[in-house]
Amino acid sequence: MRIGQGYDVHRLSEGRKLILSGIEIPFEKGLLGHSDADVLTHALCDALLGAAALGDIGVHFPDTDMRYKGISSILLLKEVKSLLDERGYKIENIDCTVIAQRPKLSPYILKMREKLSDVLSLDLDRISIKATTQEKLGFAGREEGIAALAVCILC
């Protein structure tokens, strides 16, 4: 059994879509990045890669590579899943936290979990996504960015 953890931050910017766990969330701003900047999926990719000691998302999908410009991060997660499959790892469970002052994410959490369940071929009860504000403190509290944390167990 192996544990992995991931952390990511992206800046909020006008004129961008807000994509979390592959789901478009209605909001006046979105996350800035080379890919679709899906901060939750990035943290999860890093947790999965970390558990397998396979480096991190920047090693596998460098932001200098034009192939990844504007790419759906769900495709990157699929690639990470393939790397785990090739090595015979199975995901036991995943637990993620999104840190965002706004928007309120509770109406979208089930959809976000269902998306990961679909992409990872993993039962919904093995996938947890939680959201918290930051009490208006720090960059997330000031709505300058959104952070995400993820942990996983592989077996």
Q: Which residues bind Mg ion (CB under 5 A)?
A: 8, 42
Angstrom distance (rounded) from CA 34 to CA 63: 6
Q: Are 102 and 131 in contact (CB under 8 A)?
A: no
Nearer to Mg ion, 42 or 115 (CB): 42
Nearer to Mg ion, 79 or 107 (CB): 79
Q: How far is the CB of 66 from Mg ion (least distance, A)?
A: 17
Residue 93 gets which letter from DSSP?
E
Residue with Cβ nearer Mg ion (1 or 59): 59
Cβ 151 to Mg ion shortest distance, Å:
17
Nearest distance in Å: CB 138, Mg ion: 18
H helices present in the chain, as ranges: 39-51, 57-60, 73-86, 109-120, 138-141
* Cα radius of gyration rounded to whole Å, the chain: 15
Angle between helices 73-86 and 39-51 (to 10 degrees): 10
* Shortest distance in whole angstroms from residue 56 CB to Mg ion: 10
Q: Which residue, 8 or 94, is less far from Mg ion as judged by CB?
A: 8
